[in-house]
Structure formats: structure tokens, C-alpha cells
Amino acid sequence: MRAITTVPPGGGVKLSQVNIESKNGLKIKTYRTGICGTDKEIAAGRLAFVRPELGSSLILGHEAVGIVTESDENSGFKEGDIVVPMVRRPGKCRMCRLGRQDFCEDGDFVEAGIRGKNGFMRDEFVEDPRFLVKVNDPSILDIAVLTEPMKNVMKMKEIFQFMRMRIPWYCDDSTLSCKNLYVFGTGTEGLLISTVFKSLGINVVEVNRHPLGENVMDYLDSNKIDYLDTSSETLGRKVKDQPMDAAIDAVGAMDVLKEITDNIRNNGIAIMFGTSGQLPSSTYEVLENIVDRNVVVVGSVDGAKAHYAEAIRFMETQGKAMQMERIITGKYEPEDLKIFSEKEKLEIKKVIAWS
Ligand code: BGC
Ligand code: ZN
Ligand code: ZN
């Protein structure tokens, strides 16, 4: 079968013919795989923790949706079921044993397509049913590839709900309609964050350093999500009219933590998600703003099985109304390897069609 492989840590990608002996599990025909910043970084040889499962090459791909082609009765799945595989697989620590490998205590886990386990960019794979999540509504088949990035958002939402319970952090009418959340980053993850948090009834402002693409503007407009291009209006100016009650960073590449702590209100909630970046320019100022003003800054990576299921339910119930199909801006063949290195002008999420 065909598979997209890389030889870590050097990077580079190629479409290879691979012959992998199937272990026990269900056979899944791959339908779509998504490519994200992580895949591009791996392809560019910039992620130090990438490692193969066996030998020297790794099959890429951690965002996927597929169809069960061979099952067994006791697995809870049947032929034809639409499934999303989980990325991270447990190690031996207590959190991993409790099914919360997203909170792994010692780093002894593997991640499909990233570290220590072959991923899903291939025609088919065999999977342990414990790590499959079922999609019930076939009408979301094409957007279900967004489940994996969206499960990160569902975990952020859980953390956010937890953090806001510290104090009566709601409006006089007990909703969140007077609160403003600033989301940094207008890639897939940023847009999914905005989409999910908007559905909580909070005002969302998407922040970007450059003018936004037309398609992103349309998506935000139709979901009544506000936006700020900091090349034409500063964050400091914007928060005068719309105070920053909460912030989520999905960029990591710029000094976002500093921008957030400079502008967030007292009792603010900041969730940091982006990782590929530089350190804040002034650690002292940042810490002073956080500690002295009771701002919660929470790191968040990965999510639990329940978050995958929640992402799927969200798309099943609100995906159409929120026009989430617009997040997928290109469908490519496995041969089109240039998508790992090139960025289209209006690109949000690119997917590879395997069948
Ligand atoms: C995935 C996470 C994963 C992380 C780091 C992200 O792209 O969504 O589940 O833990 O990469 O490997
Ligand atoms: Zn990803
Ligand atoms: Zn662990």
C-alpha cells in the first residue's frame, strides 16, 4: 500500500510502497488525513522529538478519519463504521493507566505519526478498538478529519470552564455574553477555538498580525466572530472598547504571552496552546502581571477520548450551521507532496484523500 513517510530527524517526505504486517485489531480504510503545522515541522526536520516506530522511517499522519473494513463482534464496531483514531497512546504512568495520557506524568507515551508509532497517511491501517472513536452521523464524514485538532479545543474548553469557576466570572444575566475572549492565530486551531467558544455565548475576537484572507473573514463574519488585524489597529486600542477577559494563544511563535499579560483584565483567564515559539522578552514583567493580578495561565496539550467524542458531537450538531466545511480549503492526492512545504494564500486546512 501507499504511505507517506519521513526519516527522522532529518525530515523530508516521500510516497512509498510499504508492506506492514497487521497486528490484531480492526482494519480501517483511510478516508482523509489532515496536515497541520506539526506535520510541516516534521517534514522540515525541525521537531526534535520525532522518532520512528521500527527501523528508520516513520509513516506520517495523526489527523484522520477512516471506515472500518474488517471487524470482530466484540469490538463494538462493525464494517462500514466511520471512525477517528486517537493520536496519543498510553505509557505506564498513573495518568496513562487512567486513560488520561494527555496528562502523562513521565513522557513515556507514543503518538501516531509523530513519535514512536506509525501514523495514518497510508491506504489502510490496523487499529486497537480502544483507540477508535465512532462518528455516528455520516453527513459529517468530510469534516470529521477535524476531530483530532478539535479535541485539543474541547480540552481547552474544559480547562476554561474549570478556571472560570474560581469566582463568579459571569455577567449579570448569568451568561458569558458580556465577556470577550481574544484568540491569537487564524489557522485551523485558532478557528476551531473561536468556533467552539463562540458557541458558549462568549464574544470572540480573532487576532492576527496580518490582514486576514477573504475566506477566513467570511467564516468569522458568518459566525459573528469579531477580528483584529494588529497591523492596522493595536491590541491596546481594541481592548479599550472590548476588554480582554480571556485569551487563548494558538500561535506560540511570537511574544503572545507578553501581549496577553500586558492587556488582560484582572481575574483574566489565559490558556496557552501554541508551542513553536520564542520565550517572552521580559520574564519578570510577564510573571508580575500574572501573579499580582491573579491571572490563570494554563498550559494545554492533547486531549482525552471524551474530548474526541465531544468534538464529533459538536460537528454532528453544529458543524453545518457554523459552516465548518469552509475550514477545509484543499483536497489533495497522496502524490501531492508539495503541500508539506508550500502554503497557499487562502490556506486553512489541507487534507489528503486516500479513498
Ligand atoms: C496534536 C497533539 C499532540 C501534539 C504534540 C499536535 O499536533 O494535536 O495531540 O500531542 O501535536 O505531539
Ligand atoms: Zn495536527
Ligand atoms: Zn504516562
Core vs surface per residue 333-348: b (16+ CB within 10 A) or e: ebeebebbeeeeeebb
Query: Across the strands, what pairs with 116?
Result: 111
Give, using CA atoms, the residue closest to atom 11 of ligand 1.
Answer: 38
Range of the domain at 192: 151-299
Residue 114 alpha carbon, nearest atom of ligand 1: 12
CA of 243 to the centre of ligand 2 (A): 31
pLDDT reported for residue 23:
76
Give, using CA atoms, the residue closest to atom 12 of ligand 1.
Answer: 114
Residue 111 alpha carbon, nearest atom of ligand 1: 12
For residue 319, tell me if it sits in a domain: no
pLDDT reported for residue 213:
93
Q: Does ligand 1 have an atom closer than 6 angstroms to the CB of 88?
A: yes
CA of 303 to the centre of ligand 3 (A): 13
One domain, residues 134 and 255: no
For residue 312, tell me if it sits in a domain: no
Q: Does ligand 1 have an atom closer than 6 angstroms to the CB of 49?
A: no
Could you tell me which residues come within 8 angstroms of residue 22 by beta carbon, excluding any fewer than 6 positions away? 126
One domain, residues 51 and 75: yes
* Cell, residue 242: 472590548
**Boundary residue ending a domain (257, 280, 299):** 299
Q: How many residues does this entry show for the chain?
A: 355
Q: Does ligand 1 have an atom closer than 6 angstroms to the CB of 301?
A: yes
> 3-class SS at 58?
strand
CA of 207 to the centre of ligand 3 (A): 34
Q: State the DSSP string of 233-276.
A: S-HHHHHHHS-EEEEEES--SSSHHHHHHHHEEEEEEEEE---S
Give, using CA atoms, the residue closest to atom 3 of ligand 1.
Answer: 302
Number of structural domains (the chain) is 2
pLDDT reported for residue 287:
63
**What kind and span of H or E run contains 104?**
none
For residue 348, tell me if it sits in a domain: yes
One domain, residues 14 and 100: yes
Distances (CA, A) of 28 to 82, 126, 307, 315: 9, 6, 21, 22
Q: Distance (Å, rounded) from C-alpha 188 to C-alpha 330?
A: 13
283-292 and 256-263 helices, crossing angle to 10°: 40
User: Which ligand has its closest atom nearest to the C-alpha of 105?
Assistant: 3
Under 8 Å between Cβ of 61 and 37: no
One domain, residues 160 and 281: yes
CA of 332 to the centre of ligand 3 (A): 35
One domain, residues 334 and 280: no
For residue 304, tell me if it sits in a domain: no
* Cell, residue 65: 478519519
CA of 266 to the centre of ligand 3 (A): 35
One domain, residues 136 and 20: yes
Residue 302 alpha carbon, nearest atom of ligand 1: 9
Please state whether the predicted TM-score (pTM) of the whole model is above 0.85. Answer: yes
pLDDT reported for residue 294:
62
One domain, residues 155 and 295: yes
Cis bond before residue 9 (omega within 30° of 0): yes
pLDDT reported for residue 291:
54
One domain, residues 169 and 222: yes
User: Which ligand has its closest atom nearest to the C-alpha of 275?
Assistant: 1
Core vs surface per residue 6-27: b (16+ CB within 10 A) or e: bbbeebebeeeeeeeeeeebbb
CA of 149 to the centre of ligand 2 (A): 6
Number of Cβ within a 10 Å radius of residue 72: 12
CA of 334 to the centre of ligand 2 (A): 17
Query: Across the strands, what pairs with 15?
Result: 4
One domain, residues 50 and 132: yes
CA of 266 to the centre of ligand 2 (A): 33
pLDDT reported for residue 278:
45
Q: Specify the DSSP class assigned to residue 115.
A: B
For residue 117, tell me if it sits in a domain: yes
Alpha helices in the chain (DSSP H): 37-43, 94-97, 147-164, 188-198, 214-222, 235-241, 256-263, 283-292, 305-318
Q: Does ligand 1 have an atom closer than 6 angstroms to the CB of 114?
A: yes
Which of 256, 298, 248 lies closest to 281, judged by CA? Answer: 256
For residue 306, tell me if it sits in a domain: no
CA of 302 to the centre of ligand 3 (A): 13
Q: Does ligand 1 have an atom closer than 6 angstroms to the CB of 188?
A: no
Which of 15, 116, 127, 115 lies closest to 69, judged by CA? Answer: 127
For residue 318, tell me if it sits in a domain: no
- The half-sphere exposure of 305 on its side-chain side, counting CA atoms within 13 A, is 14
One domain, residues 70 and 206: no
One domain, residues 155 and 266: yes
Q: Distance (Å, rounded) from C-alpha 271 to C-alpha 254?
A: 15
Q: Does ligand 1 have an atom closer than 6 angstroms to the CB of 272?
A: no
Could you tell me which residues come within 8 angstroms of residue 240 by beta carbon, excluding any fewer than 6 positions away? none
Q: How many helices, marked H, and strands, marked E, lie in the chain? A: 9, 19
* Cell, residue 39: 506535520
CATH number, position 254:
3.40.50.720
One domain, residues 95 and 163: no
**Boundary residue ending a domain (257, 279, 299):** 299
Q: Distance (Å, rounded) from C-alpha 102 to C-alpha 231?
A: 36
Mutate to test the pocket of ligand 1, among 39, 88, 155 (most ligand atoms within 8 A of CB): 88
Q: Does ligand 1 have an atom closer than 6 angstroms to the CB of 208?
A: no
Give, using CA atoms, the residue closest to atom 1 of ligand 1.
Answer: 302
CATH number, position 25:
3.90.180.10
Tens of pLDDT along the chain (355 residues) come to 999 999 999 999 999 999 987 778 999 999 999 999 899 989 999 888 899 999 999 999 999 999 999 999 899 999 999 999 999 999 999 999 999 999 999 999 999 999 999 999 999 999 999 999 999 999 999 999 999 999 999 999 999 999 999 889 999 999 999 999 999 999 999 999 999 999 999 999 999 999 999 999 999 999 999 999 999 999 999 999 999 999 998 887 657 888 999 999 999 999 988 766 444 556 667 766 765 666 778 878 899 999 999 999 999 999 999 999 999 999 999 999 999 999 988 999 999 999 9
Q: Distance (Å, rounded) from C-alpha 128 to C-alpha 316?
A: 24
For residue 81, tell me if it sits in a domain: yes
